[in-house]
Amino acid sequence: MTAPTTSYHLRPVHGWLNDPNGMTRVDGAWHVFFQHNPAAPAHAAIAWGHASSDDLAHWRLHPVAFSPTPGGPDAFGCWSGVYVPGHDRPAVVYSGVADASGQSTVCLRWGSPDLNQWGPPVVVGATPWDDGVAIMRDPFVFEHGGRRLAVLGAGLSDGSPAVLLFDRSDELAWRYLGVLVAGNAVLSDAGAADVWECPQLFPLQEKWVLVLSLHDRGVLGQVIAAVGDLVPDGEGLRFVAESVHSLDDGTDFYAPQVTLADGEPLLMGWVREADQDPAVRDHAGCLTLPRRLGLADGVVVSRVDPVAAEALTGDVKHVRAGETLLADRRWLVKVVGDGVRLTHPDLGEVPVAPGDELWVDGAVLELYRPDGIPATWRHDEPWTLTVEDEGAVEIRQVVASVP
């Protein structure tokens, strides 16, 4: 049986983790915040955890950045949001949830230069009750045509999803501009959803990419990437999707965040996990490896950030035909020949081909294909990798990076 504990995927030592938040780079160091309950491995009383790294591989865990404010706009939870660049001091915006209804406002906090201290929440945006909007959450900021803008995921009163657009030229008073995109002929094939969560909107090779996490009546589904263009629409914009596809083909990837802090899109996502019994294990959830994004034939593809990959891996060991490996260790496995089979007792056989990389960390497996869509799984039962006939793989042990 694979030990469920991960050793080189970013996670807290204790408590709960879900969505990555506030990703940025300051003075050469990467900072990643995350949805966090430090008290128990369960989704409740969500604060923002904080970690930093010089190489996206070896992480320093900081004290909790900020927690729900009793009686405040985020009393029920400090939900997902982003770092806000372009100001003379650090700032983040996020969904502040005041009560169990799940309705939220956009909260802003100003931070110290080292990102360790944060001021009280200031409400800068509220749910617009026109356009049939029933709920909104998860702000993401961007710029277009010299304007400072933001998008939020939403659900409409008819049960369909949407993305809302806001002007934030006044960072302390966001102004609603309308619906950026709702269900259309392209996105209607993306999968069932009543809310599009954690929208990420960014330019990539002359196109715009909109990443959406599909929430459908309490069920977390796939994450999709829509490739298209932004076109003027009155005072606002409209996203015109040309194609849509899965961003990750596994079963346990959700709520990724993208940052352009160094000029190139960098993504990390949540490797999903259910609440845990603290008597069995006192932590739950981790983040994926950092991924660099590209566009190949209209498809958003991912690879592990090369700096992080080099920092994590050790010497190469070659494994040839006739060997069977239980993938219950901390390995990077690169397929270098045909005749390699990857199987799992619950999922059956997963096809692999030369050039594929398998990052194995306890119960977590991330599969990366050259210029392709990755896949992320979390399963306590171990995977089996069998090398047959003329098959061959290269294995590198991965150095633990979590304190």
Alpha carbons 72 and 401: distance in angstroms, whole number: 36
Given pLDDT bands bounded at 50, 70 and 90, which one contains residue 2? very low
State yes or no: pLDDT of 157 exceeds 60: yes
CATH number at residue 226: 2.115.10.20
Q: What are the pLDDT digits (tens) for 107-116?
A: 999 999 999 9
Q: What is the DSSP annotation of 32-59?
A: EEEEEETTSSSS-SBEEEEEEESSSSSE
- Same domain? For 283 and 322 the reply is no
Residue 1 has pLDDT above 50, yes or no: no
Mean pLDDT, the chain, rounded, equals 93
DSSP state of 99: S
Is the model's pLDDT at 292 over the cut of 80?
yes
Token pair recorded at residue 236: 């606002």
Q: Are residues 287 and 353 in the same domain?
A: no
Question: Which of 60-64, 227-231, 311-315 is predicted with the least confidence, judged by mean pLDDT?
Answer: 311-315
- Look at residue 4 in the predicted model and tell me its pLDDT: 59
Active site residues: 19
Domain that holds residue 324: 308-398
Task: Tell me: do 354 and 227 sit in the same domain.
Answer: no
CATH at 362 = 2.60.120.560
State the pLDDT at residue 118.
99
- Given 238, 257, 291, the domain boundary residue is 291
User: Is 65 a member of any domain?
Assistant: yes
Same domain, 161 and 278: yes
Looking at the fold, whether 344 and 265 belong to one and the same domain comes out as no
Q: Which of 248, 264, 291 is the last residue of a domain?
A: 291
Of 58-62, 219-223, 266-270, 272-276, which range is least confident?
A: 272-276
Tell me the percentage of the chain whose pLDDT exceeds 70.
96
Count of domains in the chain? 2
Q: Are residues 279 and 361 in the same domain?
A: no
Q: What is the pLDDT of residue 3?
A: 45
Name the amino acid, one letter, at 248: D
Residues 108, 238, single domain; the answer is yes
* Claim to verify: residue 102 and residue 169 sit in the same structural domain: yes
Whether residue 276 sits in one domain with residue 235: yes
pLDDT in the model for residue 328: 57
Supply the pLDDT for residue 326.
Answer: 61
The string of pLDDT tens digits covering residues 347-403 is 999 999 999 999 999 889 999 999 899 999 998 888 888 888 778 889 898 987 666
What radius of gyration, in Å, describes the C-alpha atoms of the chain?
21
pLDDT score at 321: 67
Kindly state whether residue 89 falls inside one of the protein's structural domains.
yes
